Amino acid sequence: MADLRALTALGVHEPAVVTVGPLTISERFDIAVASLAVRRGRDLMGAAKTAGVPLPLPAQYQAAAPYSAFWVTPEMWFVEAPFASHEAIAALLKAAFADAASITEQTDAWVIFDLHARDLALVLERLCNVDFRTAPEGHATRTVIDHLGCYLVKLGAGAARVYGPRSSAQSLLHAVEVAAASAF
């Protein structure tokens, strides 16, 4: 009989949790993601308010349960929600936004790692060109980590979320582990 359980981006059934010194790297398999882009001439902000979806300003991340979002490009955001209740996030958002937005499923395109350490800047300064130490909480940006186009979201002083291409999940995890080993 075939085993039809979903696999994480790292190819296993349970999300990875890796500890390197004081750094904890947690693969987030429990987040549904969709991209949301404005359609010309539509009332996106009104639809977002009605749907309860935050649409933060450039370079920002904002949470408003059950949704959170971060700015990706002008008039485009990534929207997150718990996978357990929003597995069909794209369909849910399409129903809520109707013709005000173009929405695409992104859950299986990205690997998501949450990073936690008292001084996370020591690791991130080895990985990318984002000044994590001075970035405000809720800062979200596109950056390059180990030659991979990624998104970095500052969740707090010692917490960050990294989105990387799912097809390079193992390489991204390895890069973070190596940076942490040299930082601590």
pLDDT, tens digit (0-9, with 9 covering 90-100), for 160-175? 999 999 999 999 999 9
Q: Do domains 17-29+109-183 and 31-108 have the same CATH topology?
A: no
Least confident of 3-17, 83-97, 119-133, 140-154: 3-17
The model's pTM: 0.96
- Any long-range contacts for 87-94 (C-beta under 8 Å, 24+ apart)? 87/32, 88/32, 89/32, 89/33, 89/34, 90/34, 93/34, 93/36, 93/51, 93/53
How many Å apart are CA 4 and CA 164, to the nearest integer? 25
Q: What was the pLDDT predicted at 3?
A: 74
- CATH 3.40.50.300 holds for 31-108: no
Residues 5-21, mean pLDDT to the nearest whole number: 95
Among 110, 108, 133, 130, which Cα is nearest to 120's?
A: 133
Portion of the chain with pLDDT greater than 90, in percent: 96
Which sequence spans correspond to the domains of the chain? 17-29+109-183, 31-108
The CATH architecture of the domain made up of 17-29+109-183 is 2-Layer Sandwich (3.30)
Q: What was the pLDDT predicted at 159?
A: 98
